[in-house]
Structure 1
Amino acid sequence: MRSRWFALALLLTAAVQVSSAQTRRHKNLLIFLTDQQRIDTMKAYGNSKIHTPNLDALAGRSFVFDSFYVAQPVCTPSRGTLLAGLYPHTHGSWENNIPLDRKIPILNQMVKDPEYVSGFFGKWHLGDELSGQGRFTEFDTTELYGLTSSGSTPTGYHRFLVERGVKPDTPAGHSRDLANRLPKELSKPAYLAKVGAEFLERHRTEPFILYLSFLEPHAFADHDWGPPFKNVNDDLYRPEELDVPATFFEEMDPTVSYQKRMWRVSLQRGEFPIAYPQTVSEFKQAKARYWGLVTLVDEMVGRVLTRLRELGLDDNTIVVFTSDHGEMMGDHRLMSKSVTYEESIKVPLLIRLPGATQTVRVTRPATQVDIVPTLLELLDQPRPAHLQGASWAPHLRGRQSWSNRDVVVESNFRGYAPADRAWMEKHVYYQRTIITHALWKLTLSDVGEGELYDLNSDPTERRNLFVDSRHQAKIAELRERLRHWQKATADSVDLGNLNTQWPEEPRRAK
């Protein structure tokens, strides 16, 4: 009898080991996405004052990208690229609140292995906010885009708060202002850490792809009254101890784009429809609150990574941390995003592969459109032919050296700053920016503007060389490279050809 039980125990043990081996052949993917987080908001990127111990620890085992550029510095277009692997002009969600075409697959839908489960929790901002267009095994948003009432299927965060006695303050649900003022354990980041850990527990024996998408640190200001939102970490940083960028006090180069000049005018006049600061003291207060939200996100990322490790999933999971765009935070006396300055278009990117034990710096410029093909290859999945990026997997695995590819950033913008509203509400303002491995940066617009910077000697973009006759050959070279990219990606924007042949027949109104 004893030998029979012993044999049965061996069989059960072998079955568990086989099941475990089958699961471990599939790598998991965990992606942390923040909103409006500029690159210099953790120690890995040179900020010794901000408190981000969990992101610092993650960076200590990750590829750290020093120059990672988003496809467009606006939420919806950038998120579309991050998930679909296409430039905004291709996936079609080229400005905020344009739903992603349901016919366009996103990363988890490109994974053909039926064993994978997928989850997306947090800010979606790509249409059909209550269901994520049915693209995931599990989905839950924290935001209220396009919702006028909570309806019969309120968000999970709405239910979470109501169950804890917090009543909504708008017909659609709990406003961002209210959410920001709640205790830490009722905050959106804490809720995402909770549901993220629960997802890991439910699917610990299955291969998974999980997105945790934080609104923060964007939530530091998003209303048209009073100073920026208070938050649970409001007193973590002393405003008087924070620095003001040197360019905050400098005159703006009059040769830079119309968009940048008008945004600065509108900000100085207090005309923006969100509570951004105008004085130095208000700016420092906003920066302190912004950093406080970064630290709050850091704590919740740490909770999820701790649970991942406790469940024994750490050594089989690819972990990614990034953001959808940056934040000017006073540089050039601008706030928000959308412009082509480095602070707006460059964001953190950490990629930790299973088994990694040290930091590896990637110093060459890298583009967001490469994320999907890279992650697919790291998951040992085939690459769909329609993707527009290239995979970094051979470089991350040490099989190839990094290439000298150009990075291109789009801007397809319909303005809302009052100083430019009359013109920009009737005109979509197009810009294309190219950054080379040698750190030359050229921006061209459809109204004939141009900006050229040598980021080696002018990293803060103070001197526009576009009007300098000594750099016309470099401009011509980069313009041709942009045209090559446009042809390769079917981008039809006319970059400043103001001498186009006039039609022989007058245009008729339709």
Structure 2
Amino acid sequence: MPTSAARPNIIVVFTDQQRWDTTGAGGNPLGLTPEFDEMAHAGTYLAQAFTANPVCAPARAAIQTGTYGTTSGCYRNGTTLGGARTMAHHFADAGYATGYIGKWHLADSEPVPSDQRGGYASWLGSNLLEFTSDAYRTIVFDDDGDPVMLPGYRSDALFDAAIRFVADHSRPSLTSGRAAAPFFLFCSLIEPHHQNEVDTYPAPTGYAQRYTGRWMPPDLIAGDSDSSTAHEHMGGYLGQIRRIDEGLGRLIDALRSVGQLENTIIAFTSDHGNHFRTRNAEYKRSCHDSSIRVPFALRGPGFDGGGRVDRPVSTIDLPPTLLDAAGIDVPEEMQGHSIVPLLHESDPEFPGEAFVQVSESELGRTIRTERWKYHVVAPQADPWTENSSDRYLESELYDLANDPYELRNVAGVPAFADVAEELRQRLVRRMVAAGETAPVIEAAPRRSAPLQPTPQVDDGTWIPVRFGHQSPQVARP
């Protein structure tokens, strides 16, 4: 095992609500993400990457702990990590300096108490950054819980803080002359998430105009309805993503300037996607790729030249992957799998599908293979108070080879009965492997033709009750 001095630095850049197809590597034609695309080209690109749960807190808990929400207890928003060990604990135990910048969403108060910071030693964050800031007024809290206002556009401000962390942790000790300890930094942006209280996507000045009316994902065109906000918000959404990529480039340049680029692993991914109210009454919390599929690339030692991986992977695989790449033993309690073996040879132990837990909008379970999407729900369960069920109903089945935008639900169509049965068994195995009790899954009612999508219309009442947060009172610096 490498000594701490020989281990690579590690930086995770984590966005909020970013679809996989907003990157050039993911097929976007607008040239939005040249920095990410270069990471994907020169490093390792995980072309079919999926969240562990398409809502903020459970997705973030999974990517910190390497465990599903039913294991960590963080299965919906409003829950915390409790005493779960995170990547920060494991890297600190191996001699790393650890730091967190940006949105957390895993605590029960603002500012985040020191015992709810997941073991990160250096802190410049906010539990609900969307409520303590807006596009040009970023307020986070420091190690002492004091508010700090960071200048500039919000993603720029957080990248600036990340660059300062890199600079501070790249200097050799003035007394010993030895190289600084390796560092693990988690930089968590709020963009391209909407600004909750006004339901807008505030891009930097002038950026929304660049992209308005230029491109629309096919699933959003097909799923267009009175409830969809895609045409209204796509320009701002894409403008935010363009600015994120520029910040990523500045961070990479900073690493280059302090001589740390070749010794630093950078991972870039997101907590979940965004379907712009075409699948349910808000932006995520559904089984569809628009909600669960995310960009994911790594560069640096062990990942440069890794190429494109088309096997389905999950963001829950990031913690074991980074620990493995740093030569640190992966804890047995982690339920994700390191992708490092996939870069060199096939790994018979690596799952053949991504497993997703869906909460809040419904109590659901999904598996996503290279070709198929299979989803079940527990219709009698309260998804806000129950995190699992012993009985589910087959709800959705998509043949992605012939229906890539998930417009024809073939659950219950007799021609797909054998496929559904195989996927049903695979899903049960994945649920058991995640620590759940093996459930009964009832087959979908028989029907002769695929179901077409029927977008739900927001009635203006249930989202604030179920999903809303009260804006915290923030001390002004």
TM class by shorter chain equals: 0.7 to 0.9
Question: Does the 8 Å CA contact 2:366/2:376 hold for their aligned counterparts?
Answer: yes
Task: Single out whichever of 208-217 and 107-116 deviates more from structure 2.
Answer: 107-116
Q: Is 1:200 aligned to 2:180, yes or no?
A: no
Quote the Cα distance in structure 2 between the aligned partners of 1:29 and 1:365. Answer: 23
Quote the Cα distance in structure 2 between the aligned partners of 1:25 and 1:235. Answer: 44
- Residue type of the alignment partner of 1:223: E
Structure 2: 5+ residue runs without aligned partners?
A: 134-138, 171-179, 380-392, 445-477
Aligned equivalent of 1:468, options 390, 406, 413: 413
Query: 1:78 corresponds to which residue?
Result: 59
Question: Does the 8 Å CA contact 1:233/1:293 hold for their aligned counterparts?
Answer: no
Task: Map 1:361-376 to 2 at 5 A.
Answer: 361-376=308-323
Query: 1:232 corresponds to which residue?
Result: 205
Query: 1:111 corresponds to which residue?
Result: 91
Displacement of 1:380: 0.5
- Residue type of the alignment partner of 2:412: V
Question: Does the 8 Å CA contact 1:245/1:331 hold for their aligned counterparts?
Answer: no
Quote the Cα distance in structure 2 between the aligned partners of 1:249 and 1:463. Answer: 11
Q: Is 1:155 aligned to 2:159, yes or no?
A: no
SS of match in other structure, 1:215:
coil
- Residue type of the alignment partner of 2:26: Y
Quote the Cα distance in structure 1 between the aligned partners of 2:268 and 2:300. Answer: 12
Quote the Cα distance in structure 2 between the aligned partners of 1:356 and 1:433. Answer: 29
Query: Does the C-alpha gap of structure 1 residues 405 and 199 become closer, same or farther in structure 2, counting only changes over 3 Å?
Result: same
SS of match in other structure, 1:45:
coil
Query: Does the C-alpha gap of structure 1 residues 36 and 154 become closer, same or farther in structure 2, counting only changes over 3 Å?
Result: closer
Displacement of 1:334: 6.9
Aligned equivalent of 2:290, options 320, 333, 343: 343
Displacement of 1:385: 1.6
Displacement of 1:112: 5.8
Q: Is 1:243 aligned to 2:216, yes or no?
A: yes
Quote the Cα distance in structure 2 between the aligned partners of 1:341 and 1:367. Answer: 15
Displacement of 1:469: 1.1
Query: Does the C-alpha gap of structure 1 residues 356 and 446 become closer, same or farther in structure 2, counting only changes over 3 Å?
Result: closer
What is the count of residue pairs matched by the alignment?
Answer: 409
Quote the Cα distance in structure 2 between the aligned partners of 1:69 and 1:147. Answer: 27
Query: 1:191 corresponds to which residue?
Result: 157
Query: 1:305 corresponds to which residue?
Result: 252
Displacement of 1:42: 1.5
Query: Once the two structures are superposed, what CA deviation does each residue of 1:365-422 show, in whole Å capped at 9, x if it has no partner?
Result: 11222221111111111121211122222223x1545755222111122x4xxxxxxx
* Higher gyration radius (CA): 1
Quote the Cα distance in structure 2 between the aligned partners of 1:44 and 1:444. Answer: 31
Quote the Cα distance in structure 2 between the aligned partners of 1:454 and 1:498. Answer: 17
Query: Does the C-alpha gap of structure 1 residues 224 and 492 become closer, same or farther in structure 2, counting only changes over 3 Å?
Result: farther
Query: Does the C-alpha gap of structure 1 residues 295 and 250 become closer, same or farther in structure 2, counting only changes over 3 Å?
Result: closer
Displacement of 1:37: 0.3
Question: Does the 8 Å CA contact 2:320/2:334 hold for their aligned counterparts?
Answer: yes
Quote the Cα distance in structure 2 between the aligned partners of 1:376 and 1:355. Answer: 12
Displacement of 1:199: 0.9
Question: Does the 8 Å CA contact 1:71/1:87 hold for their aligned counterparts?
Answer: yes
Quote the Cα distance in structure 1 between the aligned partners of 2:232 and 2:121. Answer: 41
Question: Does the 8 Å CA contact 1:245/1:330 hold for their aligned counterparts?
Answer: no
Question: Does the 8 Å CA contact 1:248/1:333 hold for their aligned counterparts?
Answer: no
Aligned equivalent of 2:104, options 119, 124, 137: 124
Q: Is 1:379 aligned to 2:326, yes or no?
A: yes
Displacement of 1:332: 5.6
Counting helix residues as a fraction of each chain, which structure ranks higher?
1
Q: Is 1:29 aligned to 2:13, yes or no?
A: no
Query: Does the C-alpha gap of structure 1 residues 154 and 74 become closer, same or farther in structure 2, counting only changes over 3 Å?
Result: closer
Structure 1: 5+ residue runs without aligned partners?
A: 1-20, 163-184, 252-263, 269-275, 278-282, 416-428, 500-510
Quote the Cα distance in structure 1 between the aligned partners of 2:311 and 2:132. Answer: 45
- Residue type of the alignment partner of 1:292: G
The percent of aligned pairs where both chains have the same amino acid is: 28
Displacement of 1:26: 1.5
- Residue type of the alignment partner of 1:202: D
Quote the Cα distance in structure 2 between the aligned partners of 1:335 and 1:92. Answer: 24
> Alignment RMSD, CA only?
3.1
Query: Does the C-alpha gap of structure 1 residues 353 and 331 become closer, same or farther in structure 2, counting only changes over 3 Å?
Result: farther
Query: 2:388 corresponds to which residue?
Result: none
Query: Does the C-alpha gap of structure 1 residues 82 and 404 become closer, same or farther in structure 2, counting only changes over 3 Å?
Result: closer
SS of match in other structure, 1:491:
coil
Question: Does the 8 Å CA contact 1:446/1:497 hold for their aligned counterparts?
Answer: no
Q: Is 1:442 aligned to 2:408, yes or no?
A: no
Question: Does the 8 Å CA contact 1:248/1:332 hold for their aligned counterparts?
Answer: no
Task: Map 1:47-86 to 2 at 5 A.
Answer: 47-86=28-67
Query: 2:450 corresponds to which residue?
Result: none
SS of match in other structure, 2:246:
helix
State TM-score, norm by structure 1.
Answer: 0.73
Quote the Cα distance in structure 2 between the aligned partners of 1:145 and 1:356. Answer: 31
